[in-house]
Homo-oligomer: A and B are copies of this chain.
Amino acid sequence: MARKPLDYEELNENVKKTQYAVRGELYLRASELQKEGKKIIFTNVGNPHALGQKPLTFPRQVVALCQAPFLLDDPNVGLMFPADAIARAKHYLSMAPGGLGAYSDSRGIPGIRKEVADFIQRRDGYPSDPELIYLTDGASKGVMQMLNTIIRNERDGILVPVPQYPLYSAAIALFGGSLVPYYLEEEANWGLDFVNIRQTVSEARSKGITVRAMVIINPGNPTGQCLSEANIKELLQFCYHENLVLLADEVYQQNIYQDERPFISARKTVDEIYKVASIALSPNVPGQIFMGVMVNPPKPGDISYLKFSSESKSILESLRRRARMMTDGFNSCRNVVCNFTEGAMYSFPQIRLPPRAIEAAKRAGKAADVFYCLKLLEATGISTVPGSGFGQKEGVFHLRTTILPAEEDFPAIMSSFKNFNDSFMAQYEGYSRM
C-alpha cells in the first residue's frame, strides 16, 4: 500500500525538525494529570490571565465598545462606561472604517501605527516613522515574518542566545536556516560576552555559514535579566561592523522588577516585509486597538487615569514581590542557584543534579532536566519547562518557571518545591555525599 501524503515520512523535514518545548512533553504530561484530577500549577507558559491576573479595565472598556458599537447609541451607555472610554472607542472606530469586523491595512491601521510611533519617540527621545512600523498578531508572527524574509537556505545562520525562547529555534528550523547559538553568561547575570560571540561567528563562518542576523531577548526569556546600556552599545557596534540584522525582542519592556538596570531599547528598520504581511490581509483588529490603548494610556486628569494607573501599578508591584520571593526561594534550596529576575516574567534556576540522578535519568531514557521536572510535576503539580527546551551548556541543568502564580499561593508553592527538592536530592545524593 502506497504511503499516504500526510504520513509522517512524507512531511516537510523542516516541520519534523521543529521542536517546541513550552508545549512539549512536560506540558502534555501536566494536561494528562489535570484530566486525572490532579491540581496543576501551570508555570510553563507566560500566560498571566490564565493564572488569575485581572485585565486592565480601561482597555477592555474601549475594546468592548468597539466590538459592539451600537452600545454607543444606547441611552444607558454612560451608566456602564466612563466618558473617556466612550471617547476613545469613538476615536478608534473613526480610524477603522467598517469597525472590528473589517480587514485593516496589512501593516495595521495607520492611526494606531502613528500612536505606536509616538510612544517609541517618547520612550527613546528621537523620532520614529509610522511608515516603518508593522503591527503583527503578537511578537511570534512578527519574528516569523522577519526570519522568513531573511533566511534563504541552510547556509544562512542566525545568532540566537542560549538559553533562548524556543520560538527562535523553531522558526529557524521551519524556514530551513541554521541556528548559530551564542551562550549568555550565567555568572555575569546572563549578559552578552562579545569575545565569545565573535569566536562563535568565526567558527560558523569557517563552516561555510553566512551569519545574517542576531537575536537578543531583553528583558530575557527564560533568563529574566535586563541588559546593561554598555552591553547594548557593544551589541549595536558589533551588528553594524558584522553587517547583521538585529532582531531585538523587547516584549517585556514594561515588566521590570528593579531600579538599577532600567529597560533600554535597541532599534532597527525593516524593508520588503509588506508582501509577506499582506498574505494574511490584516493583523487582528481588536488586538491593534489594545495596542493603541497600551501605547497611549489614559493621562493625568482623564476620568480613567487613576484606575488605570493603580491597576497597572498593583500588577507590577505584585510581580516585583513575586520575582523576589521566587529567587529567594530557589536560592534557599539545596543544589539550586538562581539569578534574580530583573525583568520579564520568568525565573531560570540552575539545578545541580547529583551524578546518580543523571544516571537514573539516562536509564529512564530522559534528559536529566526533563527527568527532574517530571518528578517535580508528579510530586507537586508544578508544571515547568526543562532548561534543555531553551538550551544550556553541556552538563548544566535548569528549569524555567513563570513568576505568575497568584501572590498568596507563593509561600505554599515555594515550600512544596523545597520539600520535593530536598527529598529528590536526599534520594540521589545518598549518605555518602552529604
| A281 surroundings in chain B (CB, below 8 A) | 22-23, 45, 138, 140
A272 contact from B15, B103, B286, Cβ within 8 A: B15
Measured CB to CB, the closest approach of chain B to A245, in angstroms, equals 5
CB of A217 closer than 8 Å to a CB of B: no
The answer to whether B51 and A5 have CB atoms under 8 Å apart is: no
The answer to whether B213 and A5 have CB atoms under 8 Å apart is: yes
Stretch from A57-65, A251-259, A343-351, A387-395 at the B interface: A57-65
A18-B279, A276-B174, A279-B20 as given contacts; A5 in contact with B67, CB under 8 Å? no
- Give a binary string over A128-166; 1 marks a CB under 8 Å from any B CB, 0 the rest: 000000000110110010001111100000000000000
Measured CB to CB, the closest approach of chain B to A91, in angstroms, equals 17
- With the chains together, A12 CA to B153 CA distance in Å? 8
The answer to whether B174 and A18 have CB atoms under 8 Å apart is: no
CB of A188 closer than 8 Å to a CB of B: no
The answer to whether A174 and B150 have CB atoms under 8 Å apart is: no
What are 28 sample pairs from A and B whose C-beta atoms fall under 8 A apart?
A5-B244, A5-B245, A8-B271, A8-B272, A11-B272, A18-B275, A20-B278, A45-B103, A47-B103, A49-B99, A49-B101, A49-B102, A50-B98, A50-B103, A53-B101, A55-B101, A60-B67, A60-B68, A63-B68, A64-B65, A71-B80, A76-B80, A138-B281, A140-B279, A144-B280, A148-B174, A170-B279, A171-B279
- Give a binary string over A22-53; 1 marks a CB under 8 Å from any B CB, 0 the rest: 11000000000000000000000101111111
Measured CB to CB, the closest approach of chain B to A113, in angstroms, equals 15
The answer to whether B55 and A64 have CB atoms under 8 Å apart is: no
- Give a binary string over A216-251; 1 marks a CB under 8 Å from any B CB, 0 the rest: 000000000000000000000000000111000000
CB of A287 closer than 8 Å to a CB of B: yes
CB of A126 closer than 8 Å to a CB of B: no
- With the chains together, A279 CA to B23 CA distance in Å? 9
The answer to whether A284 and B137 have CB atoms under 8 Å apart is: yes
| A13 surroundings in chain B (CB, below 8 A) | 152
- With the chains together, A23 CA to B105 CA distance in Å? 9
- Excluding A6-B149, A49-B101, A64-B64, 14 further A-B contacts by CB distance (< 8 Å) are A8-B271, A11-B149, A12-B150, A15-B276, A18-B275, A22-B281, A47-B103, A49-B102, A50-B98, A50-B103, A74-B79, A77-B80, A144-B280, A284-B286
- With the chains together, A12 CA to B305 CA distance in Å? 46
Number of copies: 2
The answer to whether B270 and A6 have CB atoms under 8 Å apart is: yes
CB of A106 closer than 8 Å to a CB of B: yes
- Give a binary string over A278-306; 1 marks a CB under 8 Å from any B CB, 0 the rest: 11110010110000000000000000000
CB of A375 closer than 8 Å to a CB of B: no
A20 contact from B61, B70, B272, B275, Cβ within 8 A: B275
Measured CB to CB, the closest approach of chain B to A3, in angstroms, equals 8
The answer to whether A47 and B6 have CB atoms under 8 Å apart is: no
A49-B102, A152-B12, A244-B5 as given contacts; A67 in contact with B67, CB under 8 Å? yes
A67-B63, A74-B80, A148-B12 as given contacts; A99 in contact with B287, CB under 8 Å? no
